[in-house]
């Protein structure tokens, strides 16, 4: 009976992670299944998490207590309808915050880091298989048309989302425990890279390469004496030099990659958003209000990029600031910094492969949100994993057998 319940819980987690990854949304499986099923999965994920949290309330409280700043940030987001420019819309989005927070807390409470990595890898492998299936059987859904001819989007609705999920997949498979089957590990890793290529997302490929390179470095050079300090210093020096070259010649480099030097209209969009943020700097415009349907602010931003009304700022940090002001952004950055430092310490303090996952994920989260909005916006996998990782790295590490 105990094994049955645990297996059922594993299936519940895979279903929840799949939901947050967006495979049931518009432009994905959501186009071929009833919307009622998606709603059922949403509320099953939400209420299932809450029920288990209450059943395991003592352990859940201990886990939650390790994320005080995240708790404050969540409460601030829930209260933001009080000063929102569009309070009705903000109230409608509150359930997204609640469902992400409850599932992230549940996941961190019920599963240790090793189990988390295994479940994340399996879920994203399932998403990869479904993406291949839809690209072959339902190409109108799985492959872009005239907007991005030939680019795969799989079950995630957009090529960059597929690429981003496969970056996470490659990191998760690279971080699987040492007792994992070599065939399974490298098959999943290789399939993730293949789908990145098929998505034609250059950003995803570059991110994956840099992050895997970083993980290899951490895996091979631990804090084992002065020699490690030397390697770290050399690494910082090399990265600093590369950064200098990139920032000194960024227009030529971006143009050489076939990109617009304005980052596809992002820079004028950011300029408008930042100027508006300065009008309400402390608590922002309320969760989702700045980009709400019919928002005058979104229309204004759209005029700066040839009339197309953007759904977000294409920068996760800026979107948090627009939602919750500099107070909310500060809470996030401090929480992120604390989690990153603890993840860094754990990565250097052990030879267990799964201990690299928190550091790799947090690095990915920071880099990916420079040009995309993958933090608190909507109900998404990135914020769920941020909550889970943050609460997990704050726990005392238990030696795995």
| Chain segment 44-57, per-residue pLDDT in tens | 999 999 999 999 99
Cβ 209 vs Cβ 355: under 8 Å: no
How much is the pLDDT for 400? 47
d(CA 282, CA 321): 9
How much is the pLDDT for 229? 44
Q: DSSP assignment, residue 377?
A: S
Q: How far is CA 10 from CA 5, 53, 325, in A?
A: 9, 15, 37
Please give the span between the terminal C-alpha atoms of the chain, in angstroms, as a whole number. 24
For residue 95, give both structure tokens.
């359930």
Residue matched to tokens 């631990």: 222
Residue matched to tokens 């969540």: 74
pTM: 0.90
| Residues lower than pLDDT 50 in the chain | 225-227, 229-230, 233-234, 236-237, 240-241, 243-245, 247-254, 256-257, 259, 261-262, 398-401
Tell me the percentage of the chain whose pLDDT exceeds 70: 84
How much is the pLDDT for 397? 57
Q: Could you give the 3-state DSSP secondary structure of residue 152?
A: strand
Cβ 150 vs Cβ 144: under 8 Å: yes
The dihedral through the CA atoms of 226, 231, 236, 240 has a sign that is positive
Q: 89-127, pLDDT tens digit by residue?
A: 999 899 999 999 999 999 999 999 999 999 999 999 999
Q: Could you give the 3-state DSSP secondary structure of residue 381?
A: helix
Cβ 235 vs Cβ 217: under 8 Å: yes
How much is the pLDDT for 104? 97
How much is the pLDDT for 130? 94
How much is the pLDDT for 268? 81
How much is the pLDDT for 331? 96
Backbone angles phi, psi at 156, to 5 degrees: -105, 0
How much is the pLDDT for 346? 82
d(CA 188, CA 166): 10
Give the closest residue to 192 by CA, choosing from 217, 213, 173, 211. Answer: 173
How much is the pLDDT for 371? 77
Give the closest residue to 174 by CA, choosing from 191, 150, 149, 196. Answer: 191
Q: What is the dihedral of CA 43, 49, 52, 57, to 10 degrees?
A: -130
């Amino acid at each position: 009976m105990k094994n049955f319940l645990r297996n059922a819980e594993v299936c519940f987690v895979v279903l929840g992670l799949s939901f947050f990854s967006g495979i049931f949304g518009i432009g994905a499986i959501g186009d071929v299944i009833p919307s009622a099923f998606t709603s059922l999965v949403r509320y099953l994920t939400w209420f299932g998490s809450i029920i288990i949290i209450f059943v395991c309330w003592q352990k859940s409280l201990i886990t939650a207590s390790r994320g005080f700043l995240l708790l404050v940030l969540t409460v601030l987001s829930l209260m933001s309808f009080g000063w929102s420019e569009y309070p009705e819309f903000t109230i409608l989005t509150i359930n997204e915050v609640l469902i992400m927070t409850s599932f992230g807390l549940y996941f961190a409470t019920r599963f240790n880091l090793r189990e988390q990595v295994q479940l994340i890898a399996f879920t994203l492998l399932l998403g990869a298989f479904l993406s291949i299936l839809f690209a072959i059987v339902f190409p109108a859904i799985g492959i872009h048309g005239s907007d991005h001819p030939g680019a795969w989007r799989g079950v995630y609705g957009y090529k960059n989302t597929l690429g981003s999920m496969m970056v996470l997949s490659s990191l998760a498979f690279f971080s699987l425990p040492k007792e994992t089957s070599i065939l399974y590990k490298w098959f999943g890793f290789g399939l993730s890279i293949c789908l990145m290529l098929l998505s034609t997302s250059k950003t995803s490929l570059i991110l994956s390469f840099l992050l895997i390179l970083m993980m290899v470095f951490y895996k091979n050079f631990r804090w084992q004496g002065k020699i490690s300090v030397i390697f770290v210093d050399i690494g910082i020096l090399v990265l600093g030099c590369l950064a200098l070259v990139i920032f000194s010649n960024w227009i030529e480099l971006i143009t050489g990659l076939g990109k617009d030097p304005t980052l596809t209209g992002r820079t004028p969009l950011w300029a408008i958003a930042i100027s508006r943020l300065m009008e309400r700097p402390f608590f922002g415009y309320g969760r989702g209000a700045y980009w709400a349907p019919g928002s005058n602010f979104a229309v204004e931003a759209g005029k700066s990029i040839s009339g197309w009304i953007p759904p977000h700022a294409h920068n996760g940090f800026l979107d948090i600031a627009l939602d919750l002001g500099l107070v909310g952004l500060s809470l996030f950055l401090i929480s992120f910094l604390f989690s990153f430092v603890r993840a860094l310490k754990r990565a250097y303090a052990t030879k267990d492969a799964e201990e690299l996952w928190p550091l790799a994920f947090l690095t990915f989260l920071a880099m990916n949100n420079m040009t995309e909005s993958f933090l608190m916006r909507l109900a998404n996998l990135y914020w769920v994993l941020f909550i889970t990782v943050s609460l997990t790295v704050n726990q005392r590490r238990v030696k795995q057998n």
